[in-house]
Amino acid sequence: MSGKRLILAVDIGTSGARGLLFDERAEVIGQTRQPYSTLYPRPGWSEQDAEAVTQGVIEALREMVVRAAEANNRIEAVVLSAQMYSILAVDAHGQPLTHSLTWGDMRAAATADRLRGQASFMLAGRTGCPTQAIYPVSKIRWLVDDGGLPVRVKFVSIKDYVVFRLTGRWLADWSTASASGLLDIRRYDWDDEAVELAGVSRQSLPDLASPREALRGWQPDIREGVGITDNVPLILGAGDAPLANIGVGATSPGTLAINLGTSAAVRALISQPETDPAGRLWTYIADVDRWVIGGIIGAGGVVYEWLLNELLSGTGERSADEIFREADRLARQVPAGADDLLFVPYFAGEQSPGWNATAKGMIYGLTLRHHSGHLIRAAIEGLVFALTRVVRLIEKLRAAPTTAGYITGGLAASDVALHTLADSLSVPVVKPESAESSARGAAILGWLALGAARSDAEFARTEAQIVPDSSLQSLYQARYDAFCELNQRIQTLSGSQE
C-alpha cells in the first residue's frame, strides 16, 4: 500500500538548516534541525562557513529522506527556502574564497554611503532595494575593493552555493536575487548599473531562474550520501521572507505578514512591482508575477531579550521560556500605554524606514512609580510602534488600509504582544497554527510548481483571530504620535538623523 505524497522543504536559516516534510495540505508531518554557527571576527562583521551550512543542509536532507522511506511515504520534490542578503566569493572551481557574509554584516556601511552618491535616482526603483550596507551590491564592492581575490571569481548567495553543491549548477532564483540590490525586479535580470556599481561583470554572477524551476540530477556524492534519486527534482524555491507571506496565508489585499523575531519586519504581497520612490521600503520578488513590499526595522527580539536579561536573568535559575512567561505576566499587570513610559527600540541603529545606522534608542519618562512590568510593557509597545511606522508607509504607498496581520517570530508567543499589535494597528491579528511559515511557503510553492495545486488559496486555514479593542484606539494613536515625535528628537539631539 503506497504512503503519502510529500514535499521536503529545506530552510537555510541563519542559525541552522531545517528539513520539514509536508503533506498535500502543506501540513508538517516530520522535521529536523541541524545547527551551525555564525562568526563575528570584528565589530559589525557577521559570517558563516559556507561548507558548514551546506553540511547542515545535506544532513537535514538525509534524515528526512530516511524518515520518509521508513514510513513508506514518497517525496515528490525538494524545495529550498533561504536567508536573504548573504554573499560569498568562490573561485573558478567553486571553492569558497570568503565566508558567507550574512544579513547582519555591516562592514560595507561606508561603501554603501559612497555608492549611494554614485547611483542614479532610478536605480532603487528598478532593483527595489535602497543602496544600504545590508545589500550584497555593497558587500561585493567592499570585497572587490578590499583586494586579495583572483581575477576569475564568482559572487553567490549561500543558497546559490548550496544549489551548486547539490546539483553542480550555478543558478540563483529571482526571489533571493531580488534582495541583492543587483536585480531588475521587473525584467527578472541583472541590472547593468548595479552590476557596474558592484565593480563586477555579469559573468561574475550566477544564472537566473524562476523560483519554480525544477532541477533534475543530483551530484553523485549527494545522491549516494542522502539516498535520493534523480527522479526527485530540486525546486529552486525563494527567499524566506516572501515565502513567509505565502506560508501564513497573508496573500490577499490588505493582509500583512509581521515578523516579531530576532529582527522585526512587515511585508505585503502585491501583484505589481510597486516601489517606494523615497527608498524607505524595499520590494522583492516572491514568486511568478508576485512581489512583496515591506521593511525591516532591524533589531527586534534582540532588544527585547536584552531587556529581559537585564531585568530578570538574575532572579533565580530559570530557563529562557520561564523568563519569557514571567515577562508576559509582569507586562499584563500594566495598563496599555505603560503609564506614559515610552521605549524607542533603535538600540542597534534603524533600518526601515529611516535607514539610519547610527540611530539611538531610549527609555523615556521613567519615574519612581515605574517597575519592571512597565519597562517590559513599554518595550513591547515600542517594537509595535516601530513596526507601525512601516505599516503606515505601506498603506500610504498602496492607498489601501490594512485588514489583518499574520504574526510570526518568537514574540508571537507573547499574549501581550499579540493584543498590543491588534489594538495599536486596529486590525485583527492572526497567530498561525504552525510556526514554520517560510518552510510551509516553500512547500506550497513546490505543490504549485508540480501542478498539484492551482493557487495557494487551496492551502488556506481557518484560524482564530485576536480582535482589536476599539476603546484603546485613541490611546494608542496618541502614544504612537508621541513615539514618532520622541524618536525624531532623539536622533536630532544625538546628531544621528540623516
Q: Looking at domain 298-430+468-493, which CATH architecture does it have?
A: 2-Layer Sandwich (3.30)
Share of the chain above pLDDT 70, in %: 98
- State the Cα–Cα distance between residues 155 and 248, nearest whole angstrom: 32
**Contacts of 382 by beta carbon, 8 Å cutoff, 6+ apart:** 342, 343, 344, 345, 483
pLDDT value at residue 497: 54
Cell numbers 541583492 correspond to 180
Pairing of strands 74-82, 47-48: unpaired
CA neighbours within 13 Å on the CB side: how many for 13? Answer: 22
Residue 1 has pLDDT above 60, yes or no: no
Query: What phi and psi values does residue 11 have, to the nearest 5 degrees?
Result: -100, 115
pLDDT at 291 over 50: yes
Task: Render pLDDT for 368-415 as a digit per residue (tens, 0 to 9).
Answer: 999 999 999 999 999 999 999 999 999 999 888 999 999 988 899 999
What confidence tens digit (pLDDT) does each residue in 73-116 have?
A: 999 999 999 999 999 999 999 999 999 999 989 999 999 999 99
pLDDT(498) > 70: no
Three-state SS annotation for the chain = CCCCEEEEEEEECCCEEEEEEECCCCCEEEEEEEECCCECCCCCCCEECHHHHHHHHHHHHHHHHHHHHHCCCEEEEEEEEECCCCEEEECCCCCECCCEECCCCCCCHHHHHHHHHHCCCCHHHHHCCCCCCCCHHHHHHHHHHHCCCCCCCEEECHHHHHHHHHHCCCEEEHHHHCCCCCEECCCCEECHHHHHHHCCCHHHCCEEECCCCEECCCCHHHHHHHHCCCCCCEEEEEEHHHHHHHHHCCCCCCEEEEEECCEEEEEEEECCCCCCCCCCCEEEEEECCEEEEEEEEEECHHHHHHHHHHHHCCCCCCCHHHHHHHHHHHHHCCCCCHHHCEEECCECEECCCCCECCCCCEEECCCCCCCHHHHHHHHHHHHHHHHHHHHHHHHHHHCCCCCEEEEECHHHHCHHHHHHHHHHHCCCEECCCCCCHHHHHHHHHHHHHHCCCCCHHHHCCCCCEECCCHHHHHHHHHHHHHHHHHHHHHHHHCCCCC
- Is pLDDT of 315 > 80? no
Q: For residue 298, what pLDDT is reported?
A: 81
Backbone angles phi, psi at 305, to 5 degrees: -65, -40
Which residues face 335 on adjacent strands?
A: none
- What digits encode the pLDDT tens for the residues 212-238? 999 999 999 999 999 999 999 999 999
Which residues are 260's β-sheet partners? 264
Name the β-bridge partners of 390: none
Summarised one tens digit per residue, pLDDT across range 425-442 is 999 999 887 778 999 999
Q: Decide if 414 contacts 379 (C-beta within 8 A).
A: no
Measured distance CA(481)–CA(459) in Å, rounded: 39
Taking residue 471's Cβ as centre, other Cβ atoms within 10 Å add up to: 9
Give the amino acid at 232: V
Query: Matching CATH topology for 5-242 and 298-430+468-493?
Result: yes
Residue ranges of the domains in the chain?
Answer: 5-242, 298-430+468-493
Query: For residue 314, what pLDDT band results from cuts at 50, 70 and 90?
Result: low
Question: What would the pLDDT profile of 451-496 be if each residue is shown by its tens digit?
Answer: 999 999 999 988 889 999 999 999 999 999 999 999 999 988 876 5
pLDDT-wise least confident of 169-183, 411-425, 429-443: 429-443
Mean pLDDT estimate for the chain: 94
Q: What is the mean pLDDT of residues 194-211?
A: 97
C-alpha cell at 72: 513508506
Cβ 176 vs Cβ 84: under 8 Å = yes
What pLDDT score does 26 carry? 96
Question: Is 5-242 a domain of CATH 3.30.420.40?
Answer: yes
Whole-structure pTM value: 0.93
CB atoms within 10 A of CB 483: 23
